[in-house]
Amino acid sequence: MSLEGDAITARLQALAPEGVRDMIPPPCILDMQGELVEYVENVSLSVRFPVLPRYRNPLGNMQGGFIVAALDNTLGPLSFLVAPPSATSALNTQYLRPVGAQETLLICTARVLERTRNTLYLTAEARLADGKLVAICQSTNQILPLPTAKA
């Protein structure tokens, strides 16, 4: 099954505990103007981010921290869709090429590599609008126990 746009947001909100539903999507994704593009159930999530001038370093390229933030803002929702709740225990990123000042769009796709009883292994990639690979990322998430209802 595949979901797009607002249907992804609705799925995320349905999975969230009642007290935090109004925080989905979270401010970090909203601040980066991330657009949920496609979710393939238990397989992958794609999110599109504009490359904003405020993300540039002194050389005019997108600062690496913003690239990894875009990747993390893709991995996080995927982990929540697949195994809520979970917490990132490792995040490793390799940069392949800069995102120059002329670039306007970064497309991040996260995929599930493996899910065990307690751990979620994910990978993600960031690409330019023309499909050129910018960065790859691996994430290990610990699946947390579901909160128990208080009597």
How far apart CA 39 and CA 46 sit, in angstroms, is: 7
Residue 125 banded pLDDT, cuts 50, 70, 90: very high
The answer to the question of residue 42 being in a domain is: yes
The two three-digit tokens of residue 143, written as one number: 């699946």
- The total domain count for the chain is 1
The two three-digit tokens of residue 21, written as one number: 């539903």
User: pTM score, two decimals?
Assistant: 0.93
Let me know the angle formed at the C-alpha of 63 by 126 and 65, rounded to the nearest 5 degrees.
70
Contact 67, 52 (CB under 8 A): no
The answer to the question of residue 28 being in a domain is: yes
Residue 150 banded pLDDT, cuts 50, 70, 90: low
CATH number of the domain encompassing residue 37? 3.10.129.10
The answer to the question of residue 149 being in a domain is: no
**Cβ neighbour number for residue 100 with a 10 Å cutoff:** 13
Assess whether the previous peptide bond of 25 is cis (omega < 30° from 0): yes
Which domain does 22 fall in, by range? 2-143
